[in-house]
């Protein structure tokens, strides 16, 4: 069966069982390896991507739920050579230790900033709660998001870098 979905601005016709989790398609078919497999049960957030503007756990999002919709992955937020503003803030605040949670943290934070360019600390904390970091870098992650949230032009914080590798 074919599922038509836009991923990082690019239309895709995906041939796979409709029950296949989006995470598997991203990593195994499209070589978008930013989103990670952590728990596979919607409990850690390592696999978070943005679906029609909202953060979702791609490990429990089947292709059947994606027809005609738009997905953004961390690869669309910037690249190693040209990090987006949120990525640059994560680097500046050294928010990553092992880094396993970071793609999910970035995409979840991006979804918030897209809807609320200047969230309060409380809004940031509540929004980020579903994503876990077992290295305990939450304070640094929050500092990075806060810096972007308090910046002059939140829109510039997440200029898409469609197709770029993260």
* Residues making contact with ligand FES (CB under 6 A): 37-40, 42-47, 57, 59, 96-101, 133-135, 137
In angstroms, what is the minimal distance from the CB of 161 to ligand FES? Answer: 22
* 26 vs 101 by CB, closer to ligand FES: 101
Beta bridge partners of 70: 6
Q: How are beta strands 2-7 and 70-72 bridged, if at all?
A: parallel
* 25 vs 101 by CB, closer to ligand FES: 101
In angstroms, what is the minimal distance from the CB of 104 to ligand FES? Answer: 8
In angstroms, what is the minimal distance from the CB of 54 to ligand FES? Answer: 15
CB contact set of 140 (below 8 Å; sequence gap of 6+):
93, 94, 95
Question: Which element (helix H / strand E) includes 109?
Answer: helix 102-115
- For residue 15 the two structure tokens come to 């041939």
In angstroms, what is the minimal distance from the CB of 153 to ligand FES? Answer: 28
CB contact set of 57 (below 8 Å; sequence gap of 6+):
42, 45, 47, 48
CB 24 within 8 A of CB 36: no
- For residue 13 the two structure tokens come to 């016709």
Neighbours of 118 (CB within 10 A): 11
* 111 vs 154 by CB, closer to ligand FES: 111
In angstroms, what is the minimal distance from the CB of 130 to ligand FES? Answer: 8
* 15 vs 43 by CB, closer to ligand FES: 43
């Amino acid at each position: 069966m074919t599922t038509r979905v836009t991923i990082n601005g690019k239309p895709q016709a995906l041939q796979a069982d409709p029950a296949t989790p989006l995470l598997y398609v991203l990593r195994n078919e499209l070589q978008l390896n930013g989103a990670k497999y952590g728990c596979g049960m919607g409990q850690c957030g390592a696999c978070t991507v943005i679906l029609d503007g909202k953060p979702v756990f791609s490990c429990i999002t089947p292709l059947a739920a994606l027809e005609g919709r738009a997905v953004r992955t961390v690869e669309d937020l910037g690249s190693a050579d040209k990090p987006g503003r949120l990525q640059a803030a994560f680097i500046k605040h050294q928010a990553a230790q092992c880094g396993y949670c970071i793609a999910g943290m970035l995409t979840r934070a991006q979804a918030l900033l897209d809807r609320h360019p200047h969230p309060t600390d409380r809004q940031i904390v509540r929004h980020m709660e579903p994503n876990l970091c077992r290295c305990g870098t939450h304070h640094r992650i929050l500092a990075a998001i806060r810096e972007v949230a308090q910046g002059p032009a939140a829109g510039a914080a997440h200029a898409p870098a469609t197709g770029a590798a993260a």
